[in-house]
Structure 1
């Protein structure tokens, strides 16, 4: 294990207490709502925020006793923080120069890194002359040029527009795959996390609430935040056989469970009816439409009632059912469309 960290940061109204393990060559993404403690964790790893307790071990070496400038890390900040008066080449060469490399040696290495990130033609450009995507790549090259054993990325794609983000995300994935050290990525974007990370660590209120591979977390969310992140309706109830009771609603599920359990299903799995449907028994409840909004190519209907749910329907279905806020509606989900698992 390359990184073994227990991060404890105590403030008057907030406490971060999490444990992280990141193997060599692995990318771990920290996800969570605003104020969860993601950036605090990253700054603690970098030595920019002091630990109140815990440890940071990298290849067995204690980093928490070292000043930030002595830690073998590279960091890409959300706003990149390139030196505005330096060229792209000298921005990348800055780190090696601080570590004792000669000017010529540092600039040779910087030129090689700029070539690797596809910016060989921008060595003389100042940050103000670079696009957002180009600035991000210079910042990444600057972080990697010092030969770090730990790479820290704080919302590295947040400042980019949607089109540029798509291209740079793909390029960043390739660069991270070539990096032999441990990488910790902070993001609030689930797509960035799913594409870039090998493992997800979800933080809420300074504590880890879920961890696992992107597929595991997406399939079995354990909090409302994670469920919204991956686009699922999620409920906690009590299972007895193939039935899970959530408040006043009983869900028939495919799995056989007993005890506390979660039930999850996609908004697209929810069918809406003006009147109570007949026919095959299904998971059914009556609700009130609280809101209607466009969601991609579909329309998302927000439902309130014995349970709160989101339903995705086509614009044609909205017209056919004459759906309006405040309207009473019947909602149904087939048992085969639900996913139940132990809580």
Structure 2
């Protein structure tokens, strides 16, 4: 998305580190929250550091509200401290010897704002975060959620045009994440400039972001709204992230051939390269070959592992003939009745109506 008037973020992040190369294009409009997702080592944190100016680009450009902050081709590079960028680090990095109020006032003071005015601004921000009564507390006296809000207030205190959040909820326990996630979403929704966050948690990304960009091996492999990404994953990593089985093959009508001996029947009619996706809950297992149950997709598979997954058992399998991976979610009762165990061979089946096919 681009605003059309030069405002917002326009970045082409190019870094060459020999064994690893980054080439990522990002455009984000004011008021939009973008989440960067990807496996470890994909380049998410490197991208965030490049946006902050903490890692220098070797190519491309970085423009914010029409102003060029960095462009190696013309030897232009604005130092990090002079960029209108606020950063919330994963561990918040609050100054332990300063109070919450002093932490928030630190940025404006560094920009030459008089002490009294900086403290008044800090007090206002802490009040907005619901932390007025904790203004005099030092970080060690704050809960994880409170520290996260102080870090957010500190990042906002300098009036940034780009807000960067590095795993903003990673330091919180599971109970605190739920409340703080909803609270952070409200604050981000009120932020009028650009916000970019890095997260490993798909739920954080789905709740906090308006748009997702998925990076693998230093390149963008998919981008779109959370709903688009969840419905049409295009790599194995994304499929695992949103909890789907994903296969790629050649479509001819309502059949997608995955290999010489395996084809899946779907409800969509396609021609050419195609993906087929379905949730683990759509997979049924049986000890014998299924009869005419409406599940036109059936094949032998071997169980390679089992683990608890919420109130179900996630069964990992590989196709007995082709080795294709498969995940199935079964109830505890079903697992017990079938006497499932690692190494056992079973029949897997999926109804065509429970699959979703789309062009590759």
- Which residue is 1:211 aligned to? 223
- Matches of 2:277 and 2:262, distance apart in 1: 14
TM-score, normalising length: structure 2? 0.94
**2:298 matches 1:284:** yes
**Is 1:269 matched with 2:319?**
no
Partner in structure 2 of residue 324 of structure 1: 341
Structure 1 residues 25 and 62, CA gap change in structure 2 (3 angstroms): same
List per-residue Cα deviations over 1:74-99 (Å, max 9, x = no partner).
Answer: 11000101011110000000011111
SS in 1 for 2:343: coil
The structural deviation recorded for 1:44 is: 0.4
Aligned to 2:120: 108
**What CA distance in whole angstroms lies between the structure 1 residues aligned with 2:228 and 2:130?**
34
Q: Is residue 57 of structure 2 the alignment partner of residue 44 of structure 1?
A: no
List gaps (5 residues or longer) in structure 1. Answer: none
Q: Check the 8 A contact 2:295/2:352 in 1, yes or no.
A: no
Question: What is the aligned counterpart of 2:85 among 47, 66, 73?
Answer: 73
TM-score (norm 1): 0.99
The count of aligned residue pairs is: 343
Deviation at 1:63, TM superposition (A): 1.1
The corresponding residue for 1:87 is 99
* Structure 2 partner of 1:3: 9
Runs of 4+ residues over 6 Å off in structure 1:
none
Distance across 2 between alignment mates of 1:251 and 1:12: 42
Once the two structures are TM-superposed, the CA of residue 165 in structure 1 deviates from its matched residue by 0.7
Contact 2:295 2:350 (8 Å CA) reproduced: no
Displacement after TM superposition at 1:12 (Å): 2.2
Q: Give how far 1:281 is off.
A: 5.3
Structure 2: tracts of 5 or more residues without a match:
71-76
1:210-229 CA-partner distances (Å, limit 9, x unpaired):
00000000000000000000
**Aligned match of 1:295 in 300, 305, 309?**
309
Q: Residue 13 of structure 1 aligns with which residue?
A: 19
Separation (CA, whole Å) in 2 of partners of 1:342 and 1:218: 15
Structure 2 vs 1, CA of residues 335 and 127 (structure 1 numbering), >3 Å: closer, same or farther?
same
Mapped to 1, the partners of 2:18 and 2:25 lie a distance apart of 21
Instruction: Give the SS at the match of 2:120.
Output: helix
